[in-house]
Every structure is written in C-alpha cells, then in structure tokens.
Amino acid sequence: MDKEKKYNFARGAVKALADIQLRENLASATQTLRQKRLAVFDDPEATEALREIGSRIKARGLTHLPRLLEELEARCTQNGIIVHWAETTEEANHIVFSIMDTHGAKKVVKGKSMVSEEMHFNAFMAARGKEALETDLGEFIIQLNNEPPSHIIVPAIHKNRKQIGKIFAEKIPGTSYTEDTDILLATARKILREHYRTADIGLSGVNFAVAETGTLCLVENEGNGRMCTTVPPVHVALMGLEKVVEKLDEVPPLYRLLCGSATGQRITTYFNMINGPRKKGERDGPTEVHLVILDNGRSRMLADPQLRKVLQCIRCGTCLNHCPVYTRIGGHAYNATYPGPIGKILMPQLEGLETYGELTSASSLCNACSEVCPVKIPIPELIRRLRDESYMKKGVGVVPGHGYKRNLLESFIWKGWRYSQTIPLLNRAMLKILGLTGWLLPNVGPLKKWTRSHTKPIFAKESLKKRIRQEGISHE
Amino acid sequence: MTDFPQAPSTVYYFGTCLSDMIYPEAGLAGIRLLQREGVEVIYPSGQSCCGQPAYNSGFPDEARAVALAQVKAFSGSDAPIVVPSGSCAGMMRVHYPLLFEHEPEYFEVKRFSQRIFELTSFLRHSLNATYVDKGPPITLTWHSSCHARREMVCTEDSKFLLKQLANVTLVELTNEHECCGFGGTFSVKRPEISAAMVKDKVRDIQDTGASAFITGDCGCMMNISGHMEKSRHPISGHHIAEFILERIHG
C-alpha cells in the first residue's frame, strides 16, 4: 500500500509514452480490437437497443441487489455450492486459504479472475507457501515474467509475439526462441495440462451469477476455465457482489454484449454454466464447489445513486481499447488493478481518492468510453463526480479520501474566475487587461505547462464584446 | 433528435469565452452567417463563459454560479440561443440539466438548455443556409471536437455546409473520432499525455496533405494550431464560420 501511495502517475505516464515498442504494441492491438468490435456491432440501431437492454438489466439488478444476493445464496446452497461472504479482500483471501488448508492443498490453478487481482491473491498465497498458477494464456505469459496484467481482458496486450517468444525462451527451461504462435501455444498447453492434472484446487471468476437458478456463468475462449472448474477435486469461484443477475433470461443479452465488446466475437469458444459439484453417478467434475462473494467497498458504492453506476460494469475492457489515454500509456502506467476509464472511476472508490484520485485527472472527458460501454456507464460523469469529491469538505463527500485535494490556492483561483464570469463589469475589465497585457503573462504555472508543447496564446486586443459594439450588432 | 425551430426571426448569440479572449473574428463570423439568412441576432452583453472549465475540474459550485449568470443574461425572451462551439453548446444543452439536477433552479435551467443550438446545425436545419463558393480551389481536412461529435452530434451538419463549397476538396482525417488532447484544464493538468495526443493529431492532419484544417471549436483550434506553431509545421487552422464567410465573399 505504501508503495502505491508513493507512485507518481505523471512519471509513470511519461515513461510509458517514451516507450516506442509499447506504444506500437498498444496501438496495433487496440486498433484490432476496435475493428473486431465494430464488425460484430455493425448495426448502430440494433447495438444501441442491445446496450439499452444491458444497461437496464444491470441497473435493475443493482436496485434489487440485497434480495438477489440472498436468492443466489439460497439457490446455490440448494445446488450444493458452499457460499462464503467476504467484506474485504483480506477476508476473501483467508476464506480461500482455509479451504486449501482443509484439503491439505498446495497448488491452485487459476482461470482468469479480476477479483483475484483485486485481492492480490497470488502474492497472498505465495507468502504462505502455496502455489497459484495462472492458466489463461495472457496471464500465464505475464506471470512467467513476474508482471501484473496491463488490460482486464488481454493481460499481455503490451507484449508482441517476439517479446513473448523471448519470455518463453528465458523462463521455461528447455525452450528455444520462436515467434511461431502455434509452437508457443503448444509449449504453454503442455505445461498447463500437467498443472491441471496435479492441482488440488481450481479457481475461477464469475461473469454472471444467476439468482433464480444458482448458476455460475463463466465466459472464456481457451478452455482453461473449463479445465480449472472440472479437473481439480475442488472448485472455488470468486465474484464481486455486483455480478448477480436475477434471471437466466438476462444472460443472453449480457453475454452478447460482453463477447462483442471484449473481443469482437458473437459467442466465445466456451461458455460454462456451473450448477454445483459432481452429483452421484456423474463421472467427472469437482466434488466440492465454493462461491466467495466479495464486497470490498461495493456496498458503499451501491448506497449512492450516481456512484453505483460503476457496479454495472461487466468487465469487457472496451473502454480501455477506445480510450485515447489508455491506448497511449497502457495499463501498467496506472499502477492499478483496473486501468483505463473503468479504473479511473473504480480504483478511487475501492482504495480511496488519496491513493488513486490522480487517475481521474487522466481524462480529456472526450466521451469515447461512454459511447461504447455495453451497459452505458456514464464514465465521464463519474470522473467529474470523483473530481468534485476530491475537493469536497470533509464529511460532505462520500468517497473515501474525499477532499484530499482541497487547497486554498485553487479555491481562490476558481473563486476569482467565478467573479470574473458573473460580474459583467469585471468581465469586461479582465478582457481589456488580457488584451493589453496578456503577452506579458509570466511563463509559470499552467501557462508553463501549456508552452512546453504549444506557442503562447495571443489574446485579442479587442474582445468579441467590444467588436460587437463597434459593429453595431444589437446587444441588450 | 433535436427539434429545430423553423426560420425564426430573432436569435440570441452566445459567443463563447475563447472567442472573447482569443478569437473574436470567429465569433463575429458566426453572427454574420446568421444575419445573412435574414435573422436578427442579439448578443446579450451580460454573457461570459458556459462554466465548463470549473464543471470539469471539480468545482461545481463555481460552475453553477457562472451557468446561472448565462441563464439570466439570456432571459429577455424565449428566442433560440446559437453557439459557435459544439463543446460550449454541449455544456449548456446536455450538462446544465445534470449540473442542476438536485437544485431548485432545475426547471428554469432545463428550459434554457432546450433553447441551445450549435451554429452549423442551426444554419442547416433551422435556416436551410446555402453557400456559393467564390474562393480558389483548396484542399482541407475537418477536425471535430469530441463534444460536437458525441454530445451535439453536429459533425455531419458542419461537413454538409463545407461540402456546399464547390472549390473545396474535403479530405477525411484518419482517426477523426479521436480527441485532440485539449480537454480544457486536462491540457495543463496532464500536459504529457495531452501533448502525445495532439502530436498524433497534428501528424494525421499533415498526412492528409491538406493546406488547412477546419474545426467548429476554438478550443481544439487553439490546441492544434498552438502545437503546430511550436513544432514549426504550421498548417492554418480556421473556425468553420470564419472560413465559410471568407469563401462566400471571395
């Protein structure tokens, strides 16, 4: 945590911007993802209608969240799934750890789970002598290289084929360098198959948890999710509490939105619906299934009608692919579990504004994210809200760390600006002074930052207001 | 879909603060284009800024005070209010109701918001403006502000007007959908990222081979032109109103 507080976002961004290889990898990969999305969502009207449905399903689910979660727990329990509630990530980690302990488990194979990233699960387990192995190919690659994911769907998006070939050659004994993706894939598969066979626990995330049936839906493309949830004797599923949906009928539109937005697919290669452990007479599947439902501040977000909109997110990552900031600096520069636009509105709410408030400044509020969000989260609106919270008086705001940016100088400047824009006489005087002496403005503060990459603006000698009077245009 | 008033006799004009401070000729050109269609244009002197800088920077109280000053300045009649900027128009039309959602002035502000129109959309849909090009042949490209594109949805209207100019060849910009990096205070709060964005935008503009770029927003123009001048590759940038006015006068 201390390390995160000290992290300098501006420096991280500058470093990323200077990395030409990174810029190339990001530009090319995100462009491909954008094009693929567009190829699937090629009918703007139908897409808009689908987004509207998706948005309403998630918004309604949040309105009824406590009831849906209770229903989910009851149905899952009926189905033989053991349900655990975790208020904090620490609690969640301890729950999984104690499940492992009960079974004398040493090794856990993991399907892709952002909640496990949020929990810093791998580090927690490593510190306690347990082995946590990523099986999603992208996650597998960056785990080899000891890096965190840089994208919520494509964790190794910052690496190209050659870099991956190099990582394999360096980190996997007996592997020689190749750029051939088929060979790289076969190498990974061979290693992973052995791990599935010998793992004690299989861990997965959850994309949708259906309350009426107690079904855990898992969306994936590599089959690693199915392996993790069927081969080891015990399956542990992790979910944020916002993942619950009311009815099975609500899954198909959300699934279409997720696949189309995330990878530009109509459906994924695998879609798993998990209804419980192996039943009597069944020949495969885990004998025990656990579901860990994590809060980690989500209940607090839910309490505010505007801030709760972040909980509609289905983690498709398309806002990252469309963001002019993310596509230039990549995920690592954010130094956060969730990077990009969604990270800007989620991280400060999860971990506090004093830690992650700076991320909200990394947006020109261009609306590219909200234009494509499959569940229509008004991301720029929430960025603005968090910027407001950053300056709010203690006790007035609701986000942890609110008011962390409050300072007399900025308050004074904005007060001054306000008077110059609300008192006509003052406004005219300001325009006159700027026109006459604007070129004398010292090159400090914001102007200094501006002139690093722009020429100094030239203030008009005569303002529009003055020109209007000169030209005899009616001005009441 | 916006409901455009048909051939109104009088309109109000909101000039924008950037036009007041830096680009008065662009603001004036918008007025001339409206007058040319036989409309009486009134410029309320009490106007200043739409309030967007504070609204986007975490100072909603200041934004509300400035917004109310505009509502008051334009309260003389119910005439439509025409704005030569997609961004300022978006602030007043789309964001004012959000800014006042929990305020007693909500309905007054909402009525004001519904009177807001972006200049090129208004010229096209309310006034059916047509232009005869008297200028020499020129190749240019168009840059759309994000709020013109995504809030006022007026990009096609701006291009519709430009395409009436017979001697103008319009080359589409690669990555036209992407922000130029201005974002108001963003450009000075995150100058490193903003600079990377404008650098790419300038490269895309230069790659079109156009001899000028046209935009409907003075903010983008200041950002793009300012960066071009600094990097000594200037291609002239023009506000669409100023450009059209110049072309039809030859």
Q: Choose among B17, B218, B118, B32: nearest CA to A471.
A: B32
Reply yes or no on whether the pLDDT at A3 is more than 60. no
Query: Cβ–Cβ of A364/B98 closer than 8 Å?
Result: no
Name the residue of chain A whose CA is nearest to B58's CA.
Answer: A388
Question: If you search the block for the tokens 């579990």, which residue do you land on?
Answer: A337
Name the residue of chain B whose CA is nearest to A364's CA.
Answer: B183
**Cβ pair A363, A380 in contact under 8 A:** yes
Confidence band, pLDDT 50/70/90 cuts, at residue A5 = low
pLDDT-above-90 percentage for chain A: 97
Give the model's pLDDT for residue B1.
66
The minimum CA-CA distance between A425 and chain B, rounded to whole Å, is 9
> Which of B66, B181, B231 is the closest to A422 by Cβ?
B66
Average pLDDT for residues A69-84, to the nearest whole number?
98
User: Which pLDDT tens digit goes with each residue over A162-206?
Assistant: 999 999 999 999 999 999 999 999 999 999 999 999 999 999 999
Reply yes or no on whether the pLDDT at A4 is more than 60. no
Give the model's pLDDT for residue A351.
97
Tokens encoding B232: 């000594």
Name the residue of chain A whose CA is nearest to B94's CA.
Answer: A381
Query: Cβ–Cβ of B196/A446 closer than 8 Å?
Result: no
> Which of B21, B46, B66 is the closest to A434 by Cβ?
B21
Reply yes or no on whether the pLDDT at B42 is more than 50. yes
Q: Choose among A174, A206, A202: nearest CA to A187.
A: A174
Confirm or reject contact between B111 and chain A (CB < 8 A).
no
- Contacts of residue A454 in chain B, CB cutoff 8 Å? 198, 222-223, 226-227, 229-230
CA distance A455 to B59: 28
Reply yes or no on whether the pLDDT at B9 is more than 50. yes
User: Which pLDDT tens digit goes with each residue over A24-38?
Assistant: 999 999 999 999 999
Query: Cβ–Cβ of A421/B49 closer than 8 Å?
Result: yes
Whether ipTM tops 0.95, in short, is yes
pLDDT-above-70 percentage for chain B: 100
Give the model's pLDDT for residue A360.
98
Phi, psi (rounded to 5 degrees) for B97: -60, -35
Query: Cβ–Cβ of A417/B53 closer than 8 Å?
Result: yes
CA distance A333 to A324: 14
The minimum CA-CA distance between B159 and chain A, rounded to whole Å, is 20
Give the model's pLDDT for residue B234.
82
Query: Cβ–Cβ of A366/B183 closer than 8 Å?
Result: yes
Confirm or reject contact between B146 and chain A (CB < 8 A).
yes
User: Which pLDDT tens digit goes with each residue over B230-239?
Assistant: 987 789 999 9
Confirm or reject contact between B237 and chain A (CB < 8 A).
no
User: Which pLDDT tens digit goes with each residue over A307-317?
Assistant: 999 999 999 99
| B175 CA to centre of own chain | 20
Mean pLDDT for all residues in chain A: 96
Output DSSP code: residue B92: I
Q: Choose among A270, A288, A294: nearest CA to A93.
A: A294
Give the model's pLDDT for residue A6.
73
pTM of the model: 0.97
Reply yes or no on whether the pLDDT at A301 is more than 90. yes
Name the residue of chain B whose CA is nearest to A475's CA.
Answer: B43
Out of A4-8, A261-265, A421-425, which region has the weakest mean confidence (pLDDT)? A4-8
Confidence band, pLDDT 50/70/90 cuts, at residue A1 = very low
3-class DSSP state of A131: strand
Give the model's pLDDT for residue B231.
87
> From the candidates A334, A421, A433, A475, which should be mutated to test the interface with B, based on the most B CB atoms within 10 A?
A421
User: Which pLDDT tens digit goes with each residue over A253-300?
Assistant: 999 999 999 999 999 999 999 999 999 999 999 999 999 999 999 999
With b for 16 or more beta-carbon neighbours within 10 A and e for fewer, the A241-278 pattern comes to bbbbbbeeebbebbbbbbbbbbbbbeebeebbebbbbb
Confirm or reject contact between B36 and chain A (CB < 8 A).
no
Confirm or reject contact between B202 and chain A (CB < 8 A).
no
pLDDT-above-70 percentage for chain A: 99
Reply yes or no on whether the pLDDT at A438 is more than 80. yes
Give the model's pLDDT for residue B232.
79
